[in-house]
Amino acid sequence: MPEEVKRKILDGAETLFLRYGFKSITMDDIARELGISKKTLYQFFEDKSMLVDATIERHINHEMEFCSKLSDTNSNPIEVMLTITDSFNDLKKQINQSILFDLKKYFKPSWDKLNKFRVEYIYNEVLRNLIEGKQKGFYHNNLDEQLTARFYIHLIDFILNPDNYLDKQFDFKTVHTEMMRYHLRSICTDKGMKTLQKSDLLQSTNK
């Protein structure tokens, strides 16, 4: 029962944070939205910072599980990247653009945890994808997979840096889609391009 309540709190808090940002949502808002007392909320999370951190940790764990299952069940490394793109874009549809600014400015430890996940785990997943893609002939054999994986991480850093969205000219989905086009088209062999040409990612560039 306590775990169910905790999960309900995290589900509700995550939805509100993604929609309105971390700063503007209060513990009162969360309790009211979930129909629980503040006393119950504080039994699980002593303050908002702890709740934000738990939300970020859960997000990271879900992303790790998703990537692990995806890599284990899909033999085509390009399709793995395309599925990640679709998943990322679906998630970002829900996000208020102020969320990353809030996280970086007001909840720095949680931001640092998310950044560490990007630099370490995502880097290793991309590196593994590149190595597999080269072995299977989808990616150019002469690319340096370690450097290319680092290039990818720097592109992700551009997306996650809230300063790049101050003018609100581009949204997350647009930037991430363009980033993936740039990444995949630059590393794919003719064999890889055959897979890529079947995807919505590449078809939309030809409009």
Q: Domain 48-206, CATH 1.10.357.10 — does that match? A: yes
190 has pLDDT over 60: yes
Domain boundaries, the chain: 48-206
Q: Which percentage of the chain shows pLDDT scores above 90?
A: 61
168 has pLDDT over 70: no
pLDDT one-digit tens code per residue, 82-130: 988 887 766 655 566 678 888 989 999 999 999 899 889 999 999 999 9
Tell the burial category of 80 from Cβ atoms under 10 Å away from its Cβ (0-12, 13-18, 19+).
buried
146/86 Cα distance (integer angstroms): 24
| Most confident of the ranges 48-57, 115-124, 153-162, 193-202 | 48-57
DSSP code per residue over 46-75: SSHHHHHHHHHHHHHHHHHHHHHHHHHH-S
The pLDDT value recorded for residue 119 is: 87
176 has pLDDT over 60: yes
Q: What is the DSSP letter of 199?
A: S
The pLDDT value recorded for residue 132 is: 95
The pLDDT value recorded for residue 138 is: 97
Which carries the bigger pLDDT value, residue 1 or residue 15?
15
